[in-house]
Chains A and B, each alone.
Chain A
Amino acid sequence: MYVLNAWYVAAWSSEVSRDPVRRTICEIPVVLYRTQGGTAVALEDRCPHRGYPLSAGRLVRDAIECGYHGFTFDCAGVCTRVPAQDIIPRRTFVRAFPIVEKDGWIWVWTGEKEKADVAAVPDTHWMTDPEWATVTHSFPFACRAELIHDNLLDLTHESFIHLSTVGDDYIYQHGITVVVDGDVVSADRLMPGVVAPPLYASTMGLTGLWDRFHCTEFHAPSFHVLHSGITGQGRPREEGYLIKVMNGITPIDAHSSHYFYAFSRNFGVDDQSATEALVEGLGTVLQEDADALALQEIGLQSRPAGEFDVLIAQDAGVAKARKVMARLLLAEQTGSTVADLEPAST
């Protein structure tokens, strides 16, 4: 059901501290905390003794102590102390996940450790680039992750779900070019000669007609970058007013997901009122999506077996992304053994 050999966003950097926090990723319970030196750690949130969540325990220097009977584990998941006896049983370890902290995101690899490739963590450099101003949100979504992927790869929904915010009728009147390059699927739409959307018009005082564009770039299985903006008619996109929307979609279970959202712009960077307006406006957009997809999730759960989506040409990005995900899942079906997950020291 889940592609596990992948990086998933587990948290914002600001959410991980010396107080352990629990996250569920692809039905795997994970506890996150920081060492005294500030390094982020991710362990499976279940004590091997009798299943108590380590996140309900406490930190002892760089280790975490189970709050039930005091079993203590270091950053590699190795048990260093069993208070009630001197001998530590061989099976007393917890899984330690590869973890990357970059640009304010915490990424966790949920698959086979030796396959974790730091170079595969998506590019998010706009978050820390002083030429860009960034707004972030986190939302729980009451739907399967696949619905969020579909939502981002088909932006015609903006004309209907986001009428009061980013929607315009002309969006669905323009076709798309879908590009498939390995595990990356992009859905690109150019809307030439249109009026600047309110975000640009109000922030930069823009009038007249512009070429508007958006391109959702899906790095399967978990991350989208939406390259969006307006530019002078017939002019290269790079010259324009640009937005980068980064979307970390992390499955919790079959019917719910974490949504980590970052919106970076290269115009009005120092305009604090624009930033405040975006915090509110983008929160509205996300809530509209959350409400819509929760309804869709209910609809799908009651759909009869043997009934399938009726896809149209505008769903090409959706269709191709589903095939990439199916291929990734199939590739993992040769499986891993428990032995692959044990720390090397046992």
Chain B
Amino acid sequence: MMLLLREPAAELDPYDVESEVEIAASPDTHARRPWEWDVRLTHRPEGLSRVFDGAGLGRHHVDVRVRPDVVTADLRAVAVDIATALVRESRELWVLVVESGRLQQGRFVLAPGDVLVCEGDDPLALEVAAADGGQVSMALVALRRVDGQALRWVP
């Protein structure tokens, strides 16, 4: 299952340092199970983070928090120009945040500020390309369970 969020950062209050937007989290309702991880857009990063400053959405951070005994996280920059396949390993969950350029993924085009979450047990070859030529830069968050089990998530 893939989840495409259009400009979730538009919900951030640029004047409220406490303002944040949850992109993905487990569990989705904190009262029901112990918290394990989340990916947020925030002005106050607490975990692995990368600054986003552009596309008219104001300066904020892509922030990844995890319970280290349950989940590991990797956050890196990715650049795409020509058509390519980004390979996600099995039992990984990805969160991609487009920082600049327009990304073609299947029949969808992602603009700066758009977020794509890729969930699933199987390896995934995500076919992407720069939609208008040029180059697309993204932040890519990769999450895995420490015990090697599938990282289950429902938005």
Contact = CB atoms under 8 A, between A and B. Distances in A.
Interface in A287-346: 308, 311-316, 319-320, 323
Interface centre among A176, A181, A237, A313 (most CB of B within 10 A): A313
A308 B28 contact: no
B6 A178 contact: no
Given A313-B154, A316-B155, A319-B154, A178 B28 contact: no
A228 to B, nearest CB: 15
A182 interface: yes
A187 to B, nearest CB: 9
Contacts, number: 52
Which of B1, B4, B6, B32 has the largest number of chain A CB atoms within 10 A? B1
B154 A178 contact: no
Contacts of A182: 6
B92 to A, nearest CB: 14
B5 interface: yes
B14 interface: no
A320 B155 contact: yes
Main secondary structure of the interface of A (DSSP, over half): mixed
A76 interface: no
Given A316-B155, A319-B155, A180 B4 contact: yes
A237 B106 CA distance: 12
A180 B28 contact: no
A179 interface: yes
Contacts of A312: 154
A175 interface: yes
For the complex of A and B, the 3 pairs showing the least CB-CB separation, nearest first, are: A181-B6, A313-B1, A311-B154
Interface of B: 1-6, 8, 28-29, 32, 106-108, 119-120, 152-155
13 contacts: A175-B120, A178-B2, A178-B4, A178-B155, A308-B29, A308-B32, A313-B119, A313-B152, A316-B119, A316-B154, A319-B155, A320-B3, A323-B155
